[in-house]
Amino acid sequence: MSEAPEEVRPPVVTPVRIVIALCLVAPFVAMLWVGSFAKTDPAFIGIPFFYWYQMLWVLISTALTMTAYQLWQREQRARAAAKGGAAQ
């Protein structure tokens, strides 16, 4: 009996997916760790730290989400190319 060659599948957890997860989890950790920003000083242009820190995280979260999305798209294209290349 001859055995069929076993299909080699890429791992589900890759370094890129770990970076994606970190990009998406970081804003939650920053906002849930209230002790790190529950203060008024230092003020920025008269705005207490509590408020400008949270608004800064809105921008940071946007950048991290965009980065995660770009990494995900790049990985999906690479997987599709590898799958299509192996079939040919």
pTM: 0.76
Taking CA atoms, 86 is separated from 46, 60, 81, in Å, by 60, 39, 8
Residue type, 82: A
Q: Residue 70: pLDDT band by 50, 70, 90 thresholds?
A: very high
pLDDT the model gives residue 74: 94
pLDDT the model gives residue 87: 52
pLDDT digits (tens, 9 = 90+) for 11-49: 788 899 999 999 999 999 999 998 888 888 898 899 898
Q: Residues 49, 51, 52, 57: what is their CA dihedral angle, to the nearest 10 degrees?
A: 120
Closest CA relative to residue 43, chosen from 57, 33, 53, 31: 53
**Separation of alpha carbons 75 and 13, rounded Å:** 12
pLDDT digits (tens, 9 = 90+) for 39-69: 888 988 998 989 899 999 999 999 999 999 9
pLDDT the model gives residue 63: 97
